[in-house]
Amino acid sequence: MIAPFDQAATLGVVPVIAIERSSDAVALADALLEGGLPLAEITFRTEAAAEVIAIMAEKRPELLVGAGTILTPDALRAAISAGARFGLAPGFDAEIVAAAKAKDFPFAPGIMTPSDLTAVSRNGLKLAKFFPAKAAGGPSMLEAISAPFAHLGTRFVPTGGVSLDNMHEWLKLGAVAAVGGTWIATKADIGEGRWADITAKARAAVARAKQIREVTR
């Protein structure tokens, strides 16, 4: 079975999703799967997050479902208990990192500075979220702060301000494993049941990532 972060790197894009109703979980999973995107980061920004993850894990096991915005050890435990296959956070918290490692749970903390990256490398982690990607300085900033750590093989998932139109600026960087995409399944899309639109955006994101990778190899 392919590791979740390896799958993310293969696809080149991770849909970052805040979902309000657990009753939408299966329809959302189906929309992503139909679009060729068998991966989802369900953020702990809503009360429904853990239940959504549990439903997806049970009803659509072919979808690699992970948890995002893990800000506390309690959230980490809830994510693992619900069946999340991986986790991410917007920042670095040593307690959460240690707890994830103790559970052998694939986890990518967030970074924005060389100091954050130092903490990541000291903990032996090979993947980090770069957040907020656009506001933090964009691709040139990530390229600059990651350069001294390149020999360690650290890779990144830039999230925040990434779009279909600018994802090429990120994916052309060798250190970028995948981009985080909030545009693929927005709260409005989910709330209004626009499943066909989500499928179309998922398909377009996967195709664009593949195209970019083929050109930059």
CATH of the domain at 165: 3.20.20.70
- Residue 7 maps to a domain: no
Q: Is residue 143 part of a domain?
A: yes
The one catalytic residue in 47, 59, 126, 129 is: 129
Evaluate whether residue 5 is within a structural domain.
no
Report pLDDT digits (tens) over 120-141: 999 999 999 999 999 999 999 9
Number of domains in the chain: 1
The answer to whether position 212 is within a domain reads yes
> What is the rounded distance in angstroms from the CA atom of residue 117 to the CA atom of residue 114?
5
Residue 58 designated active-site = no
Would residue 172 show up in a list of annotated catalytic residues for this protein?
Answer: no
Assess if residue 4 is contained within a domain: no
Q: Which domain holds residue 119?
A: 13-216
The structure's pTM equals: 0.96
For residue 8, being part of any structural domain is answered with no
- Amino acid 217: pLDDT: 67
Instruction: Read off the pLDDT of each residue in 136-161 and give the average, rounded to a whole number.
Output: 97
- The number of C-alpha atoms within 13 Å of 171 and in the hemisphere containing its C-beta is 31
Q: Do the domain assignments include residue 2?
A: no
Digit-coded pLDDT (tens) for 86-121: 999 999 999 999 999 999 999 999 999 999 999 999
Does any domain span residue 153?
yes
